[in-house]
Amino acid sequence: MRILLSLFLWTVGITFFLISFLILAFCLTALPREKTFALARRLFSVQIRLMGIHLEVRGRENIDPAKTYLIMGNHQSLFDLFVIPSAVPLVFTGVEAAYHFSIPVWGHLIRKWGCIPIQRSNLEQAKMSLKQAEKTLAAGLSIAVLPEGHRTRTGKMGPFKKGPFHLAMNTRANILPFGIRGLCDFQCRGGFLLNPGKVEVHIGKPVCFEEVSSLSPEELRDLIFEKIQKLAKES
């Protein structure tokens, strides 16, 4: 029964995503980014509901829409890509693994959106990506980064990469932390079976650069790890 339910939900979800992709691909050429992102949030919210996710968000009051953030959180599932925009009411782009840009349909959409590819196995390419991210933040557009770099297989957070924290220090960015709870239970890395239910996103108070300017990137990484771990209710 669970296999049939999962098959049905995947079929519904993929069909709706393809429709959404066509709509957003058109809007990216015809509408301002702000209007397109507002539409994307609505479509992604419908997407996750259709696939059985009941999303609850805490802490939206911590966000100042007039400010630019480096948005950071834990990486639980493929569906982070839909849950995070649904939960965080900001216009932002993202740093994506370079191979994501070769995924049919999705790769085209994130390229048009202005997402930044990062090739972790190539140091020079990674440095160029960080420079591009610095320019994006300097232009006033927030960026979402998942510092683990990979989805969890166990539901527990993995170690954070240092790159995002060098980016934070270089750009004097304010960091907006969030923690996702329950999404790995819905669909974890490599899993086909889906478990419909509640997913929570807890948005923490921003970490202003002035508060952490004396820290090294490694110390900032450890601080943000602890904050996100608490928001994700891992201890």
Q: What string of pLDDT tens digits covers the 235 residues of the chain?
A: 789 999 999 999 999 999 998 999 899 888 888 899 999 999 999 999 999 999 999 999 999 999 999 999 999 999 999 999 999 999 999 988 788 888 887 787 788 888 888 876 666 777 788 888 889 998 999 999 999 988 888 888 999 998 899 989 988 999 999 999 999 999 987 789 999 999 999 999 999 999 999 999 999 999 999 999 999 986 4
* Sign of the torsion formed by the C-alpha atoms of 204, 209, 211 and 215: positive
Our count of domains for the chain comes to 1
Which DSSP helix (H) or strand (E) runs through 137? helix 123-138
Per-residue b or e along 64-73, where b marks 16 or more CB atoms closer than 10 Å to that residue's CB: eeeebbbbbb
**Owning domain of residue 114:** 54-231
Residue 220 lies in a domain: yes
Around 192, how many Cα atoms within 13 Å sit in the side-chain half-sphere? 8
Residue 13 lies in a domain: no
Residue 43 lies in a domain: no
Residue 66 lies in a domain: yes
pTM of the model as a whole = 0.91
CATH code of residue 125: 3.40.1130.10
Residue 154 lies in a domain: yes
Encoded tokens for 175: 């960091």
Residue 19 phi, psi (nearest 5): -65, -45
